[in-house]
Chain A
Amino acid sequence: MKVTFETDASMERSLAKVVTNPAEQQRWEEIDKAISHLERQLVVINPKNNRNVQIQPSSILAIESEDRMCNIRVISGESYLLGKRLKYVEEDMDSSHFLKINNSTIINVKHIKAFAATDHARIQVELKDGSSYYVSRYYIKNFRGKLS
C-alpha cells in the first residue's frame, strides 16, 4: 500500500487521520494494529534494580502520584517508577487514552471494565485486572467524550 502524508493545522495534535478507498475498508483493523505497534516507548525505572526499562504506553493500567514521582502499574502486574510529577505526566500522555480520575490517579481508558457506585456514596472505576479506584465528580464529565 502506498502511503502519503499531509498536514492539517486544524487537527488535534495527537490525532492522525487515515483516508482509504472504500475497497480497503476491511484492512482498517490491520492498519490500526500496525500503527499502534509503533507507539512511543516510555522509559521508566524498575524499583527492584533501579534500571531503566522501556514499556509501551498501551500496557499501562494506571499511573498514581507518589510525592514527586509516579507509580506506574502495567497489565503484567509489574509496577514501575517514573521520575515526574503527575501533572507533567498528564500533559505528556495521549489524552485520548489516558484520563485523570482524581487528584492523584490517571487511568488508561482502554482497560476499564465497569463503573460502580459504592456503599459510601462514591463512584468507583474497576479495571480489567480487578483493581479499582475512586473517581472524583469533577472528572466524570471527561469520560463522556472519551468512552463513546
Chain B
Amino acid sequence: MIGNLKHSFFQVFTITFLWVTLLLTFFFKDQTIQMGYLWNLAGIAFIAAMVFGVMYDALWNYFTLKPIWNIVISSTINILGGTAGVWLFSEEMFHFIAPWFPGMWLLSIVLHTIAFYFYARMDSKKKAEELNKILK
C-alpha cells in the first residue's frame, strides 16, 4: 500500500509540475518570474499529488470507511487543496474567485456524494455479483 501510494504521489507530482509549467509558458510567456516562484509551483504539485495521488487512491482502493466519511474527507481536502493551489499560483486570482468558494464547496460535496455513494454502491454490487459467480 505505502509503495503504491508513494508511486502515485510522484507520478501526479511530476505531471502537475509539468502541466502548470506548460500553462505558464503558454499564457504568461512574456512575463518574468522570480526564482522563488518555482517553490510555489512545487507547492501546487505537492498539493495535487497529496490530493489526487494519495488521498483518493487511499479512500477508494485501500480504506473501507463509511461513504459519509469518504465524502466529508475528500470534499473538504479537495476544496482546501484547490484554494491553496490557486493562492500559490496567484494571490490576485485567489481574491478574484473568493466569492465563489461556498458554491464550489457545495458542488464538491454533490460530486463526491455521487462518486463515493451512488457510483461506489453500483460498483460494489457489480463486483460482489462477479465474485459470487467465480465462487460457484
Contact = CB atoms under 8 A, between A and B. Distances in A.
Contact of A102 (B64, B117, B120): B64
Sorting the interface of chain B by its residue count into under 10, 10 to 19, 20 to 34 or 35 or more gives 20 to 34
Contacts, number: 63
A136 B64 contact: yes
Contact of B61 (A112, A121, A137): A137
Contact of A121 (B1, B4, B63, B117): B117
Which of A102, A122, A143, A148 has the most CB atoms of chain B within a 10 A radius of its CB? A122
A69 interface: no
Contact of B125 (A112, A117, A147): A117
Given A121-B67, A121-B124, A115 B61 contact: no
A135 interface: yes
A64 to B, nearest CB: 13
A107 B61 CA distance: 18
Interface stretch (B23-31, B101-109, B127-135): B127-135
B64 A138 contact: no
Given A103-B62, A117-B125, A121-B117, A144 B67 contact: no
Interface string B7-38: 00000000000000000000000000000000
The 7 closest A-B pairs by CB, nearest first: A134-B64, A121-B120, A117-B124, A138-B61, A121-B121, A117-B125, A115-B131
